[in-house]
Structures are given as structure tokens and as C-alpha cells.
Amino acid sequence: MSLPDDVAAYLDRHPNSSAVVADAIRARMARGEAVELTLRSVGYHLTDEGRTWARSVLRRPTEEQRAESQRYLEAIEAGQLPETR
């Protein structure tokens, strides 16, 4: 596995890098499950074929879009209603 230099440096400094990696992967898995549950709760049922199709037609978010999403989630977690555009 290859990692960006800053991530590798962080893991080198951490006493239990395996735990850090496992925690990060579990958090990512939980986010995916939360998204799927949210979609199901409003009537969408995701299939493997649908995921494959979506990945083929949707572009990955830019770093700016990811940062904006992160700010939005942090505001929600802080109990603040984010501004909408």
C-alpha cells in the first residue's frame, strides 16, 4: 500500500499505526452504511448494478467540494444549521 508522505509521517509517529488505519477504515465503512440507510429511508434501494452505473457516470468530487461537505457535516454535528446557497 502506498500513502501520501504526510499520512505516512503521521503513522510513523503514532505508536499503533495499525489501529489508526483500522479506525479510519471502519469510519469510512460506517459513513457508507449511514448514506445507504438514509437513502433507503426515503425510498431508494441501492443495488450493485446501480452503484456500478453511478460510478461510471458521476465524477468524483473535487477537493473543494469535499472540504465544503466536511464543513457542512461539522456544522450539523455542532448543532448549527449550515447556510444554503
State how far the alpha carbon of 63 is from the alpha carbons of 22, 42, 60, 70, in Å.
24, 28, 9, 10
Q: Is the pLDDT of residue 85 over 60?
A: no
Helix (H), strand (E) counts: the chain:
4, 0
Where exactly are the structural domains of the chain? Answer: 5-46
Candidates 46, 22, 23; CA nearest to 34 is: 46
Candidates 31, 38, 29, 36; CA nearest to 66 is: 31
pLDDT of residue 80: 84
State how far the alpha carbon of 33 is from the alpha carbons of 57, 60, 67, 79, in Å.
22, 19, 21, 22
What pTM value is reported for the model? 0.56
